[in-house]
């Protein structure tokens, strides 16, 4: 069934939001607004933003009064911009493209070339054009500035938006959306936040992490705090350890320039992985609102035990992929990728053991790992519970009983499963692990980027990362990155083959504690 069949308009009054029904629940679509996309000719706009806006429009979740103004360094007409976006939407949705819906959205797409560093260009391309388009589309001066551009250009855009007065909220809102990475260390994160604060107030800033908008990730809080059977067990008395895995099969995908400056720790850990950890470990918020939830997430970051830099190898393992086979095909190693130095020490794999020092989690390790060119694509959070305190069946069984495991599958097959023991049918005392499984397959009505864009338009910052959280995660990781980068020698790499589960040292990191990684 098409999603639009599940949307029920409950009011036709446009002065108040029209509630729509999606999957049996009412959601509040946004008020009139415009999207100004910086980097509109770039990869992010083509792969994610325009396809997501098309889907939202197709499913009646965009306001009637809405438009997109794309900007960028590339000189092109609005018609050429529409043609390019049509091609990418058709490619993204080959079996779900509706020409009528596209024509409706295309009529609201515009483009204006922009020199990011020139204030005169902002006056000509934005300050003069926006009021005309806002009057035409009746968007009530509600503006969203989306930075789909490299981090090196952030400052120019933010400063010029402030200098030209476009960041001011005059009768409507002005939101700015910043994609990760939010800096490359603590100093640069503080600098970016300082630049933002000169032009925007914190409530206007949306530092988005689309992982937080995935259905299973959003469901972690619901699972924990809407059910009474698990939260009493969610502590160091019953949980043995937690594993968080973000494994990718892809390499760097023609992004050598970005990845050589970033590496896996900067790319994945301050945002995706530590945000997953925070949702797993946080205390119950007083209420389900953005500030209360984000207050609890930052408490987790402040409770993370600093790494002992003199014994870092006991807590952190790094790697870089070499050549190998993926799906039966030979693939090159990282250093053979186009644009990568033949002596590069950039990390493509990292595993960490982290402790959260508070009453709930004292002594419980969180094992984190992420890497490229690994055996399979998988993102999951696995809660491993402790064995039963007394094994009454030990004299009847030939092997240990597997403890209970609760797994949040974030991708690719979103869902939740619980492993528990049950009697084997036809036996007197023979146990086997069985799985209680809940799957979202076929039920994902909005993808992560669609939720993020909706929240930016609705003014909901719950899935946005706050200034203090950005700085705290970098405060935790920057000393580790500095120590690793000062000590890594080129001859160490490569140390794992493409298509494997990562470096052998990563297995030792967890096996020293009598545990093992879950299979990829």
How many residues make up the chain in this entry?
A: 520
CA distance 506 to 341: 25
- The answer to whether 301 touches 476, Cβ cutoff 8 Å, is yes
Please spell the DSSP secondary structure of 276-320, one letter per residue: HHHHHHPPPPSSSSHHHHHHHHHHHHHHBPPP-GGGGGGTEEEE-
Residue 390 annotated in active site: no
Distances (CA, A) of 89 to 51, 86, 105, 375, 450: 5, 5, 11, 30, 14
Close Cβ partners of 416 (under 8 Å, ≥ 6 residues apart):
216, 219, 223, 406, 407, 408, 409, 437, 438
Alpha helix (H) residue ranges in 164-206:
186-199
Q: Reading across the β-sheet that carries 143-147, which strands appear in turn?
A: 109-113, 66-72, 33-38, 143-147, 174-179, 205-208
Q: What contacts 345, CB < 8 A, 6 or more positions away? A: 320, 485, 488, 489, 490, 492, 493
> What is the SS3 assignment for 241?
strand
Query: 381: which strand partners?
Result: 244, 408
> Which stretches of 349-403 are assigned E, i.e. beta strand?
349-355, 365-371, 378-385
Catalytic site residue from 168, 203, 272, 390: 272
Neighbours of 445 (CB within 10 A): 19
**Tokens representing 473?**
């995660």
Q: 238 vs 228, 232, 458, CA distance in Å?
A: 15, 9, 40
**Among candidates 175, 40, 192, 47, which has minimal Cα distance to 116?**
40
User: CA 352 to CA 313: how far, in whole Å?
Assistant: 9
Handedness of CA 245, 251, 254, 258 (dihedral sign): positive
Handedness of CA 285, 291, 294, 295 (dihedral sign): negative
Residue 355's alpha-carbon distances to 229, 270, 360, 369, 400, in angstroms, are 25, 16, 11, 14, 27
Radius of gyration of the chain (CA): 24
Residue 219 tokens read as: 């469901």
User: Among all residues, which ones are annotated catalytic?
Assistant: 272
């Amino acid at each position: 069934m098409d999603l639009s069949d599940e949307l029920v308009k409950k009011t036709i009054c446009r002065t108040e939001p029209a509630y729509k029904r999606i999957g049996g629940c009412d959601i509040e679509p946004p008020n009139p607004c415009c999207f100004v996309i910086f980097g509109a000719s770039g990869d992010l706009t083509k792969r994610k933003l325009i396809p997501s806006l098309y889907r939202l429009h197709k499913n009646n979740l965009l306001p009637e009064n809405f438009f997109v103004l794309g900007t960028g360094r590339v000189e092109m007409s609005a018609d050429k911009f529409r043609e390019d976006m049509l091609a990418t939407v058709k490619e993204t949705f080959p079996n779900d493209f509706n020409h009528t819906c596209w024509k409706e959205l295309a009529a609201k797409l515009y483009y204006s070339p922009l020199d990011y560093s020139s204030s005169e260009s902002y006056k000509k391309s934005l300050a003069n054009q926006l009021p005309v388009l806002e009057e035409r589309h009746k968007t009530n001066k509600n503006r969203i500035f989306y930075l789909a551009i490299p981090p090196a250009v952030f400052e120019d855009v933010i400063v010029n938006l402030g200098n030209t007065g476009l960041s001011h909220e005059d009768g409507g809102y002005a939101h700015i959306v910043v994609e990760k990475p939010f800096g490359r260390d603590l100093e640069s994160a503080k600098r970016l936040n300082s630049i933002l604060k000169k032009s925007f107030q914190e409530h206007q800033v949306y530092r988005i992490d689309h992982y937080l908008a995935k259905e299973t990730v959003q469901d972690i809080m619901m699972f924990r705090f809407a059910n009474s059977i698990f939260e009493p067990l969610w502590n160091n008395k019953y949980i043995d350890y937690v594993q968080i895995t973000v494994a990718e099969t892809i390499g760097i995908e023609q992004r050598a320039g970005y990845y050589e400056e970033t590496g896996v720790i900067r790319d994945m850990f301050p945002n995706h992985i530590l945000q997953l950890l925070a949702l797993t470990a946080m205390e119950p918020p007083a209420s389900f609102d953005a500030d209360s939830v984000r207050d609890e997430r930052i408490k987790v970051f402040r409770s993370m035990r600093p790494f002992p830099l003199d014994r870092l190898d006991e807590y952190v393992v790094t790697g870089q992929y070499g050549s190998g086979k993926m799906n039966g095909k030979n693939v090159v190693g990282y250093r053979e990728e186009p644009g990568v130095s033949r002596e590069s020490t950039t990390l493509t794999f990292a595993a960490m053991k982290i402790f959260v020092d508070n009453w709930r989690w004292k002594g419980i390790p969180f094992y984190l790992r992420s890497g490229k060119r690994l055996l399979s694509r998988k993102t999951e959070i696995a809660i491993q519970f402790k064995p039963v305190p007394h094994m009454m069946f030990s004299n009847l069984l030939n092997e240990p009983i597997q403890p209970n495991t609760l797994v949040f599958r974030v991708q690719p097959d979103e869902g939740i499963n619980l492993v528990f023991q049950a009697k084997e049918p036809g036996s007197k005392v023979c146990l086997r692990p069985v799985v209680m499984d809940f799957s979202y397959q076929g039920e994902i009505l909005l993808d992560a980027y669609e939720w993020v864009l909706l929240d930016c338009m609705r003014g909901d910052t719950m899935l946005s990362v706050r200034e203090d959280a950005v700085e705290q995660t970098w405060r935790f990781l920057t000393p580790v990155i500095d120590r690793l980068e000062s000590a890594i020698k080129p001859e160490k790499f490569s140390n794992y083959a493409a298509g494997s589960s990562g470096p052998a040292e990563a297995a030792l990191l967890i096996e020293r504690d009598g545990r093992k990684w879950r299979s990829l």
